[in-house]
Amino acid sequence: MDRQTARDRARELVGKMTLEEKAEQLKYGAPAIERLGVPAYNWWNEGLHGVARAGVATMFPQAIGMAAAFDTELMGQVADVIATEGRAKYNAYSGEGDRDIYKGLTFWSPNVNIFRDPRWGRGHETYGEDPYLTGELGKAFVEGLQGDGEYMKAAACAKHFAVHSGPEALRHEFNATATKKDMWETYLPAFEKLVKEAGVEAVMGAYNRTNGEPCCGSTTLIQDILRGQWEFEGHFVSDCWAIRDFHTKHMVTDTAEESAAMALKAGCDVNCGNTYLHLMKACEQGLITEEDITQAAERLFTTRFLLGLFDENEYDKIGYEVIECKEHLRLADRVTAESVVLLKNTGILPLDKNAVKTLGVIGPNANSRASLIGNYHGTASRYITVLEGIQDAAGEDTRVFYSEGCHLFKEKVENLSAGPDRISEAVAVAKHSDVVILCVGLDEGLEGEEGDSGNSYASGDKADLLLPEPQRRLLDAVVKVGKPVILINMTGSAMDLKYAHEHCAAVIQAWYPGARGGRVIADILFGEISPSGKLPVTFYRDTEELPDFEDYSMKGRTYRYFTGTPLYPFGYGLTYGDVTLESVDCCGKGVENQGASVEIPSGTALTITARAVNKGARAVEEVVQVYVRAEDTAHATPAPRLCGFARVSLEPGEAKEVQVPIDRDAFTVVNDEGERLVDGTHFTVSAGFGQPDARTRELTGKAPVSFQVVLR
């Protein structure tokens, strides 16, 4: 159904409603209107990495892990599975008369905020620190979720608009101050792409203020930019109870009626919270008009018509049997395989099952289900932890010892013990093992959203990048045994892994790898799968190198503006193979020779063709990455920025040509007024398997192919 038809039908239906009925439809739990045949509908559903909070569903790795795959096609497939299982649940539940929260088809995902600071607890809900990567992955997610059928399969929601990335403890009262350049270069591009290119059906506002205006009542963000410049036609939803903050925290209004009016008149259509219960009083007080309420109701019913909720449609026959079906579980395994990032390997990996007779699996996350899933998750019918995956994969001839080693963050596991009560066991396990696999990290209880986390680190945020002290003590004790240690870090954010990098034989970033992620991690350890993930965030050495957490200036943040030397750079990740770029072609011209140059007309896109060859003995996947830097303008970012990427799978000895499209925005910059423009004619373009920086070359031993693009 096209939007105009849906809009016409919505206008006709809403026109039959009373003012009070229309106002009630703007609550996230919209009641039924029986006389008009309108069933109840709850707008609140979650689908960050699988259908959440509504029972059993396929659970993919957390969003930050999916981002590490650098794979738009895969992201689209994940979103399609979420929509399919969401439809199956909607069909089954509504058939039983259940239209409760988390049972609808409007999913409040994806989170395309920029992970600007590693201390932010919700960063693992995002696709990382880069606007281009975030926009491309977010676009693929939206297109996969909404589908291309006659009706919309499910409705996606880009959140949190805009300039939102902590601190969690202050979000209800915080004013994020951002320059025009930072707004249009960093904080807004992903939202713009999802609106203008992916046609995202909904946008959710943030809790905080941005440059003085509360985001869910901002005329600048909602009217001027979103609906004005970008011509957004979908509906806008508040974050939950954010409108209440207008008069209780931000103090920009005095009453609930004023807050409701401010949000509605700015263009917020549905209220997650209860402040819109005051709409009728606001109307009586002359703060809003019936036309304001009508307009919002028409937008919301337009979405419901687009979803086919009042018609028979092609998705009605999706049956419950698709939930956690074999095909969906295989896809989840593939996502996990592509998400795991190998950060260091002295040659110990992959492990030889025949050579390793005893394995020690140690750590608080080794046998933890919580460390598999991240936040905003559903329920899996089966979980496979790292320990369980290793036990199943190691074979009968390999003895696997296990010790929890320590509590995730407490000083002791047993409350009556005198002190660290699992260290001696961990040391004993290490001494009796040929190789130790040490699983450390966090879970959603230590890094997450304010209100959902129970940590001591300021409402879900981290005070620093260090592992909790009991884990640091454990790591030191195990390393001192002298056995080779493979460290697996299970977090949703960058950590200080300097000690591990210096003392461990291998370091793996596994994120929160999904409900059955332990099996895939075991396959990676034993060489059944080559790791191929790339970091979507910078791993700094510590927070001393970073600006204040509350400072929203991009100066000194993320790989584009950081001037120090990271521990592990954005875009970095090792494999078990030896892949090189044999040749690089741009616009029909070979450019692998040093100093090569290509001229293109200003305002055009181009495609880079890279011939990749696997000189190793194992089948691998790699990610070709292309970076660009403007050389003759004052408005360029300090470091080259990502402008294209593509995955390639290679058998031993195989060579393939990989095409990486580069859009015309790659050859633009954003000035201090927030204007994107062509300013300068000379650009350095680099193609490789990571950033064109010294640290990546040091860690990989490989340099990218760099050449000049000249605009004419």
User: In whole angstroms, what is the distance from residue 691 CA to residue 628 CA?
Assistant: 10
Confidence of residue 452 (pLDDT cuts 50, 70, 90): low
Q: Are residues 350 and 299 in the same domain?
A: no
Rounded to an integer, the average pLDDT of 142-160 is 98
Is residue 653 a part of any domain in this protein? yes
- The number of helix segments (H) and strand segments (E) in the chain equals 20, 25
What is d(CA 418, CA 578) in angstroms, rounded to the nearest whole number? 50
Q: Last residue of a domain, which of 509, 537, 565? A: 537
Q: Tell me, yes or no, whether 396 and 506 share the same domain.
A: yes
pLDDT in tens, 217-263: 999 999 999 999 999 999 999 999 999 999 999 999 999 999 999 99
Distance from C-alpha of 65 to C-alpha of 77, rounded to nearest angstrom? 15
Distance CA 444, CA 460 (A): 8
Using pLDDT thresholds of 50, 70 and 90, give the confidence band for residue 675.
Answer: very high
With respect to residue 572, please indicate whether it lies within any of the assigned structural domains: no
Residue 456 confidence (pLDDT): 47
Q: For the segment 580-625, what is each residue's pLDDT rounded down to a tens digit?
A: 999 999 988 999 877 799 999 988 889 999 999 999 999 999 999 9
Peptide bond into 162 cis (omega under 30): yes
Cα–Cα distance measured from residue 420 to residue 397, given in angstroms and rounded to the nearest whole number: 32
Tokens of residue 652, six digits: 């031993």
Spatial CB neighbours of 272, under 8 Å, sequence gap ≥ 6: 28, 43, 44, 237, 238, 239, 240, 241, 242
> Is position 331 within any domain?
no
Evaluate whether residue 573 is within a structural domain.
no
Residue with tokens 């660290």: 420
The total of other beta-carbon atoms located within 10 Å of residue 456's CB is: 10
Question: Are residues 155 and 237 part of one domain?
Answer: yes
Q: Is 628 in contact with 641 (CB distance < 8 Å)?
A: yes
Residues 471 and 532 in one domain: yes
Three-state DSSP state, 655:
strand
Q: How many CA atoms lie within 13 A of 640 on its CB side?
A: 25
pLDDT at res. 595? 79
Q: How confident is the model at residue 331 (pLDDT cuts 50, 70, 90)?
A: very high
Res. 459: pLDDT tops 90:
no
Pick from 169, 181, 194: which is nearest to 111 by CA? Answer: 194
Rounded to whole angstroms, how far apart are CA atoms 628 and 659? 16
| Nearest 10 degrees: Cα torsion 169, 171, 174, 179 | 120
Give per-residue pLDDT as tens, 513-537. Answer: 999 999 999 999 999 999 999 999 9
**Is the predicted pLDDT of residue 191 greater than 60, yes or no?**
yes
C-alpha span between 64 and 66 (Å, rounded): 5
Same domain, yes or no: 97 and 200: yes
Question: Where do we find the tokens 């001839």?
Answer: 397
Q: Residue 66 and residue 381: Cα distance in Å, rounded?
A: 21
Q: Distance between terminal CA atoms of the chain? A: 44
Residue 315 lies in a domain: yes
Helices (H), 267-397: 279-284, 290-306, 326-339, 370-373, 386-394
The total of other beta-carbon atoms located within 10 Å of residue 54's CB is 22
What range does the domain containing 431 cover? Answer: 340-537
* Same domain flag for 428 and 376: yes
Q: How many folded domains does the chain comprise? A: 3
Residues 348, 472, single domain; the answer is yes
Catalytic hit among 136, 269, 388, 447: 447
CB 622 within 8 A of CB 571: no
Q: Indicate which CATH number applies to the domain containing 362.
A: 3.40.50.1700
Q: For residue 558, is it within any domain?
A: no
202-205 and 157-161 strand pairing:
parallel
Residue 482 shares a structural domain with residue 593: no
**Annotated catalytic residue, options 239, 257, 269, 324:** 239
Shared domain check, 226 and 186:
yes
User: d(Cα 248, Cα 446) in Å, to the nearest integer?
Assistant: 27
CATH (domain of 12): 3.20.20.300
Query: Which helix (DSSP H) or strand (DSSP E) does residue 647 occupy?
Result: strand 641-650
Domain boundary at 503, 537, 571, which?
Answer: 537
CB 46 within 8 A of CB 367: no
314 is catalytic: no
pLDDT computed for residue 453 by the predictor? 55
Cα–Cα distance measured from residue 293 to residue 23, given in angstroms and rounded to the nearest whole number: 6
Are 345 and 198 found together in one domain? no
Per residue in 367-387, pLDDT (tens digit) is 999 999 999 999 999 999 999
CA distance 467 to 441: 6
Q: Could you report the per-residue pLDDT of 426-439, keeping only the tens digit for each?
A: 999 999 999 999 99
pLDDT higher than threshold 70 for residue 633: yes
Question: Where residue 681 sits, what CATH number does that domain have?
Answer: 2.60.40.10
Q: How far is CA 394 from CA 401, 483, 487, 519, 525, in A?
A: 12, 19, 18, 11, 10
Cα gap 709→701, rounded to integer Å: 26
Phi, psi for residue 140 in degrees, rounded to 5 = -60, -40
Note whether residue 106 is domain-resident: yes
Radius of gyration for the alpha carbons in the chain, expressed in angstroms and rounded: 26
Assess whether 466 and 355 both reside in one domain: yes
Shared-domain flag, residues 109 and 142 = yes
| pLDDT for res 370 | 96
288-312 pLDDT per residue, tens: 999 999 999 999 999 999 999 999 9
E-strand spans in 69-196?
157-161, 175-176
Q: Which of 69, 613, 15 is nearest to 341 (CA)?
A: 69
Predicted confidence (pLDDT) at residue 458 exceeds the cutoff of 60: no
Q: What is the pTM of this model?
A: 0.98
From 537, 570, 589, the end of a domain falls on 537
Cα→Cα distances 479→52, 125, 341, 351, 614, Å:
39, 32, 22, 18, 34
657 is catalytic: no
CB 620 within 8 A of CB 337: no
Asked if the structure places residue 280 within a domain, the reply is yes
At residue 593, the pLDDT reads: 79
